[in-house]
Amino acid sequence: MRRFYEFFAGGGMARAGLGTGWTCLLANDFDAKKGASYARNWGAEHLIVDDIRNLGPDDMPGQPDLIWGSFPCQDLSLAGMGGGLKGARSGTFWPFVHHIQSLRDENRAPAVIALENVLGTLTSHKGKDFTAICRALRDLGYRFGALVMDAALFVPQSRPRLIIVAMRNDLPLPKGVTATAPQEPWHNKALCNAYDALPKAVQKHWQWWDMPQPPQRVLRFADLVEDQPKSTKWHNKSETRTLLSMMSEVNLAKVETAKASGVRMVGTIYKRTRVEHGIKVQRAEIRFDEIAGCLRTPAGGSSRQLIMVVENDSIRSRLISTRETARLMGLPETYQLPERYNEAYHLTGDGVAVPVVRHLTKHLFEQMIPAMQGQTA
């Protein structure tokens, strides 16, 4: 049985993706509400709800084969304040590194480290933050590489994320997990540019990780929509008219095209502030491409995704339901969500898509870590 630590664990979506063949030795998150959801779904035996900075060696049992870290993205995202790895939230990457160094000093370093974050990590501080992450992994004694993985390959949600995977230098590279050059769809132009900008001494430790592409996704967003959601209500006609009034001509034309299609069409909407003729205007922007927009944490009403169902002349709208957000993250129907809407939306919108972790697990992690490796707890 392979063993893992899950830092910045949230609701345990990385754990869900790893699957039943893995044993959790430690789960950690500083958010008490997320911790409550984690405990509700996975139990609290190995859960520590506290700031990562407050953990010590005694809190980290055994020798993990894998350490997963979805460290906070706020200071690395394009919407953030630009603090980068020096920011209060994304800066928790450094205590994460310190803990791995402590494990290394005790000969308990994991075989594999996986980091997940937004694509803004590649360009934060003109690439200096990405270089710092790579250099830190090198100094810990790892070879490393990165992949860009969009959840839309697996579920109907546009959610590209950067996944950095590092493997200990003293372990043999298994066949079939590396390529000699960048490979589609895992290595896009932004990632290649970030690699090119790395110092040569850091590039020497780089690997182009490779995996097979998943089968073409057949699941549509419309397949996930609830007719009678429990977490939210359908708008009345006046509220739907107000939403339509916030659309530009281009977006209204999309609605008219959906009406004329003669079939049931489901679109997703985000409210965004646009500058038109020098004036800031809030617009409702809709897409009917069978893919939901990227779920985000709710920092206000404008950041919560809405849906619109169009069938002939019938138009209905509402907030996306929390169960729909869970489905967009690939969570099973049995996953227990918080009862409060914003708590559930925050939990799912701040997580990692389960099928992304599952694909990584099957084609990288379980190839890098033999099933019988390390049996002492």
Mind listing the pLDDT tens digit for each residue in 160-206?
Answer: 999 999 999 999 999 999 999 999 999 999 999 999 999 999 999 99
| Residue with the larger pLDDT of the pair 65 and 78 | 65
Q: With a cut of 60, say whether residue 86 has pLDDT above it.
A: no
Question: What is the Cα–Cα distance from 283 to 262, expressed in whole angstroms?
Answer: 26
pLDDT score for 83: 53
Looking at the chain, the whole-number percentage of residues with pLDDT higher than 70 is 92
pLDDT grade for 76, boundaries at 50, 70 and 90: very low
Q: Where are the domains of the chain?
A: 2-214+352-368, 221-347
Peptide bond into 185 cis (omega under 30): yes
Q: With a cut of 60, say whether residue 360 has pLDDT above it.
A: yes
Arithmetic mean of pLDDT, 355-360: 98
pLDDT digits (tens, 9 = 90+) for 153-162: 999 999 999 9
Q: With a cut of 50, say whether residue 29 has pLDDT above it.
A: yes
Q: With a cut of 50, say whether residue 15 has pLDDT above it.
A: yes
pLDDT grade for 373, boundaries at 50, 70 and 90: low
Question: What is the Cα–Cα distance from 314 to 78, expressed in whole angstroms?
Answer: 37
Q: Which of 84, 38, 123, 14 is nearest to 343 (CA)?
A: 38
Arithmetic mean of pLDDT, 290-319: 86
| Residue with the larger pLDDT of the pair 376 and 226 | 226
Residue 309 CB neighbours (<10 A)? 18
pLDDT digits (tens, 9 = 90+) for 278-302: 999 999 999 999 999 999 876 544 4
Q: Which CATH superfamily is domain 2-214+352-368 in?
A: Vaccinia Virus protein VP39 (3.40.50.150)
Average pLDDT, the chain: 91
Burial class (CB in 10 A: 0-12, 13-18, 19+), 314: exposed
* Total-model pTM: 0.92
Burial class (CB in 10 A: 0-12, 13-18, 19+), 112: buried
Q: Which residues pair with 268 in a beta bridge?
A: 287, 307
pLDDT score for 9: 95
pLDDT score for 124: 85
How is residue 365 annotated by DSSP? Answer: I
Question: What is the Cα–Cα distance from 238 to 242, expressed in whole angstroms?
Answer: 6
What is the maximum alpha-carbon separation in the chain?
67
| Residue with the larger pLDDT of the pair 221 and 124 | 221
Q: With a cut of 80, say whether residue 77 has pLDDT above it.
A: no
pLDDT score for 70: 86
Helix (H) or strand (E) holding 34: helix 32-42
